[in-house]
A = this chain, B = another copy of it.
Amino acid sequence: MPNPTAAILIIGDEILTGRTREGNAHHLAGVLVQHGIDLRQIRVISDDAPTIIAAVRELAGAHDHLFTSGGIGPTHDDITADAVAEAFGRHIGVREDARAILAAHYAARGVEFTEARLRMARIPDGAALIDNPVSGAPGFSVENCHVMAGVPNIFQAMVAGLVPRLAGGKPLISRNWQLMVAEAAIADELRQLAADHPEVSFGSYPFVTDGRYGTNLVARATDEAALAAAYTALQAMFPEGQ
């Protein structure tokens, strides 16, 4: 059976205007690989309701899972929860279970539970809550769409709670072999290697260090034996690597 597929949708003008360098997608990509879920696309869009609704419908429809990051805080620019509800045709309002979680979180810390904070208890009907051990306000899953906060430590905590509960597949495993030669110098051999090992995906990533050209060759596969055979062949073909 093939691995489940996924897309990540990052919502936030701060990425598109160059203010913030996005890191949540990179974190989640690493977690999904380990869990055997194949990440097919990462998309970054602005805080615009019609754009979010269209992207959620498209990406949730085309993948087994869609993970979103950003736009579920208490301020006027946090419109993700409402947009996701609309994308799935669900009603959204303050939900008692989410309200109770926030009330307990703030009571334990002596923080006032204001109207603005209550906004974070707005959850689409039928959604399952995603635990937020950092700041209380939960994320949620509607069907195959998992809605999480954009603040990196909260996003990571939500991912840690959510992903292990999802059905996974075969983890993609990879081996790296580094050569201090330009990529073009090994292109023909590498093409042959890729043809000889169709179950293994070979990537080549050039770099320059201290004015010298180098290439990282990465072999990836879900089958451990196929990867081991390809990696042995790779090492034999380029014995000067490490």
Contact = CB atoms under 8 A, between A and B. Distances in A.
Interface of A: 10, 12-23, 25-27, 29-33, 39-47, 51, 73-77, 111, 114-117, 119-120, 151, 153, 172, 174, 182-188, 190-191, 194, 201-208, 218, 220
Contacts of A20: 205
Nearest to A28: B18
B116 A151 contact: no
A33 B45 contact: no
Contacts of A207: 151
Copies of this protein, total = 2
Contacts of A117: 184
A72 to B, nearest CB: 11
Among A46, A117, A184, A207, the most chain B Cβ lie within 10 Å of the Cβ of A184
Contacts of A43: 41-44
Interface of A is mostly: mixed
Contacts of A190: 75-76
B116 A184 contact: yes
A111 B184 CA distance: 11
A17 B174 contact: yes
Given A40-B46, A42-B43, A204-B73, A114 B15 contact: no
Contacts of A184: 73-75, 114, 116-117, 120
A73 B27 CA distance: 27
A34 B109 CA distance: 43
Contacts of A18: 26-27, 29-33, 39
24 contacts: A12-B203, A13-B203, A14-B205, A15-B29, A16-B39, A16-B41, A17-B39, A17-B172, A18-B26, A18-B30, A18-B39, A41-B45, A73-B183, A73-B204, A74-B184, A75-B183, A75-B204, A76-B190, A76-B202, A77-B194, A77-B202, A116-B184, A116-B185, A151-B207
